[in-house]
Chains A and B, each alone.
Chain A
Amino acid sequence: MSTIPPEFVVKIDPEKCTLCRRCIIECSFGALKLDKDKIVSENEKCIACRRCVVFCPTKAITVIKNPLVFRPHATWTEKIQRDILKEAESGAIILVGTGTNLPYPVLFDHILIDACQVTNPSIDPLREPMELRTYLGKKPSRLQVKEGKGKFKIETELAPNLKLETPIMFAAMSYGAVSLEVHKALAMAAKELGTFMNSGEGGLHKDLYPYGDHVIVQVASGRFGVHKEYLDVAAGIEIKIGQGAKPGIGGHLPGEKVTAEIAETRMIPVGTDALSPAPHHDIYSIEDLSQLVYALKEATDYKKPVFVKIAAVHNTAAIASGIARSGADVIVIDGFRGGTGAAPQVIRDHLGIPVEVAIASVDDELREEGIRNEVSLVASGGIRSSADVAKIIALGADAVAIATAALIAMGCTVCGQCYTGLCPWGLTTQKPELRRRLSVTRGAQRVTNLVSAWSMELKEILGALGMNSIESLKGNRERLRGIGLDHTILEILGIKPVGR
């Protein structure tokens, strides 16, 4: 018998309930059942996903936080006590999904953006052109242009760059962690928006090959699903070294999630556990990374930019500098707030640093060394709104990648149960009856809507700043001010306090 009290309580109004049993069908965690002439709940199974609440035809259901009082204690809080009880009962690591839920300060919420008044006209994006297009990849440090007979001829060859119509991409989520429907919806949205989705480390289902021009494929430590066609079909290739939610940790897709289709895509036997080692076993230092970068470039005729994704950790600036010199074209910095399908709670909640400071320090370091043009910088991990996008670009990023926000657009309620494979909204599950809950076209439409709305908001911000192009915001820390930040953090972010 568990001594852990339930976190949530399901309340069903008997006056409204018609005993239609829809809620029982919807609850993939089995928290609701019919007991003679009424619906009863096993509250300890409820994860507050709101599925029953939304689908109850008579709106008879509410879910509340269990009002039961844990005796108040500032050190031994309810959360700490619950974690201890869980581990005492199971003897196992606590697994979690999504990004950290601990109340660390969010630096984005301590940064304000400038606007024009009088001396500099703001620009109305509905009337004037406003450009968000961004190119990701290596840039030459200078152009060689020859002049002859009044005509100019360019003699510098450009490295392959990816063209983004908005500086927002979709971050890596593997097929296996999420359903095929999620992958398809993201691919369709990426194509519609003129941006890119990322396959994650689980290979690319053949149904997504037609969207290859808008897909970045990942090569991670497990090398699942990596073959010639996989590399050829994609627009870019990403080497995954680390993930913000679980720096230094590999991955584990349990065998029960490895269906026939996933097995084929990942190139592993059906029903076997898919284990991603913590490091790449052929990368034990920076020179090994360079070899993999060039191996992938050789395999694709130097036609595709190679991304390297790392988790934001204490020494990220120096690491990024090494990556910039390794031949990589784009560095993705994933902050500690980034999401995950499954990670040990202790790792997710306590390792890494925020993406805001990581981007600022990496941008500074690369400029200091005069190699900022060698790579583009992509920020991910905790980008929640268009304001976050504007702020991180002003701090030095070229573009961002979002994943949790895209999942929320498709129904995710951040319940954190991704690792159970029981996602009630059909996102992080392989069960056919749950997968059916996500309509690919509707999912794609909602994600497209979200990114379109953010893009319009970005244009409004640019207009208020008196700019008509996103490149004028990039690294423009003059237009940011910090509020409630200490002197050292302001210095690291390279911004002045409000009022200066």
Chain B
Amino acid sequence: MKIYPRISDACGIFGVVNEKGNLIPGEDAVTAMEAMSPRYNGLGAGFAGYGIYPKYKDQYVLHTIFDDENSKTKVEEYLNSRVEILKDEPIPTCKVRKIRNRPIVWRYFVNPLPQKKAAAEKKSPDDQIIDLVTYVNSEIEGAHIVSSGKNMGVFKAIGYPWEVAELYRIDEYKAYMWLGHGRYPTNTPGWWGGAHPFNILGWSVVHNGEISSYGTNKRYVEQWGYRCTLQTDSEVLAYLLDLLARKHGLPLEVACAAISPPFWKDIDSTTNEQGRLLLATRITYNAALVNGPFSIIVAVDQGITGLVGLTDRVKLRPLVAAKKGDKAYLASEECAIRAACPKPEIVWTPKASTPVIAKVERAA
């Protein structure tokens, strides 16, 4: 595997969800992203759509990027030993003049194979998929699984958001929840895996910022079997969320309090059960604290379904929230929200380290 240096970047992020689970056209996400053009430099962009594969809503969908046919063959050999592939096909794309050196992009709709092990040793299907993704991303050269959730997919490439949207024909998809991301990385990685969103299972994260605590967070998730293979600090956020909210079963609000906890002075002055909870969370999960400037938007369909916005403890990166009817919006800039939704009912700037959570009542 080619190792790229860790990349720091500044970006524009966007997320929208319909809390009733009704579908939103892909153009809305693209329009919103177009409004924040000064935040990108054309070196990476991506989208995540949830609810885009209703025909295969119970299968894990592996969106995969291959450097060449050789790596594709190797991955398929491996997949056949681990999963039942119900369907596989190229991810539909069209030619975009500015996007060159295109790798092969393919999607697989899969079910993990039953395990021939004693019941106690059996892994959950989710953990089987994590093992599979980890193996492919770290061991098979030239191949990267960029998303692995159900009824969702991540589309990312090198280019501006509108170019990536055109490439993947985002306007042809409808989703109840969208994420968008455009990058301004400070060097040129030249590969698609390093673009956002970052995904594991039902968790997708778009991130604006740089994680000062990356080394601490990375070594923490590695203790729990995750491996950071994409050489971009943002990746670790998806693993942290999966670890805390899925594996450890923490309520989403508590997981957010672990990642961006209150200051000690505020914990000290919080009494009763809430104070005990905050103290215990910070002590236990000190290595999960994400430090440095960040705003993130998380799309989740993993136990719970919804959109989450969170910033660092002193809010060194912007995040704006808005609501209109059943739809909730989050973005780096208000202009992005207004581009997709000209007359929001309320617009507000969330407080530092206070999560904004918009839950979906019923996934489409």
Q: Which residues of A contact B (CB under 8 A)?
A: 116, 118-121, 123, 128-129, 131, 133, 135, 139-140, 142-145, 147, 151-154, 156, 158, 161, 367, 370, 372-373, 394, 465-469, 471-479
Contact = CB atoms under 8 A, between A and B. Distances in A.
A96 B235 CA distance: 53
Interface string B195-220: 00000000000000110111110110
Contact of A123 (B8, B253, B287, B314): B314
A421 to B, nearest CB: 44
B18 to A, nearest CB: 23
B263 interface: yes
B8 A468 contact: no
A465 B274 CA distance: 31
Contacts of A367: 219, 222-223
Contact of A139 (B10, B223, B283): B283
B244 to A, nearest CB: 9
Given A129-B263, A468-B314, A478-B218, 16 more contacts: A119-B8, A119-B10, A119-B210, A121-B293, A131-B264, A142-B248, A145-B250, A152-B277, A154-B276, A154-B277, A158-B284, A367-B223, A475-B215, A475-B216, A477-B215, A477-B219
Contact of A153 (B213, B215, B273): B273
Contacts of A131: 263-264
A128 B273 contact: no
A120 B214 CA distance: 13
Contacts of A465: 212
B113 interface: no
A472 B250 contact: no
A473 B216 contact: yes
Chain A binding surface SS class: loop
B313 A468 contact: yes
Contact of B314 (A129, A143, A156, A370): A129
B237 to A, nearest CB: 14
Interface of B: 6, 8-10, 186, 209-210, 212-216, 218-219, 222-223, 247-251, 253-254, 263-265, 273-274, 276-277, 280-281, 283-287, 289, 291-293, 313-314, 316
A474 B314 contact: no
B273 A479 contact: no
Nearest to B294: A120
Contacts of A472: 212-213, 216, 289, 291-292
Contacts of B186: 118-119
B219 A475 contact: yes
Contacts of B284: 139-140, 142-143, 156, 158, 373
Nearest to A500: B5
Sorted nearest first, the 4 A-B pairs with minimum C-beta distance are A478-B215, A472-B213, A472-B291, A476-B215
A481 B37 CA distance: 36
A305 B291 CA distance: 29
Nearest to B254: A145
Nearest to B268: A133
A152 to B, nearest CB: 6
A118 B185 CA distance: 12
A408 B293 CA distance: 39
Contacts of B292: 120, 466-467, 472
B27 to A, nearest CB: 32
A475 B218 CA distance: 10
B213 A121 contact: no
Contacts of A147: 251
Nearest to A146: B251
Contacts of B209: 120
A373 B219 CA distance: 13
A466 B210 contact: yes
A367 B263 CA distance: 27
Contact of A469 (B251, B280, B281, B289): B289
B263 A120 contact: no
Given A131-B264, A133-B264, A143 B281 contact: yes
A475 B287 contact: yes
Given A467-B292, A468-B313, A476 B210 contact: no
A321 to B, nearest CB: 14
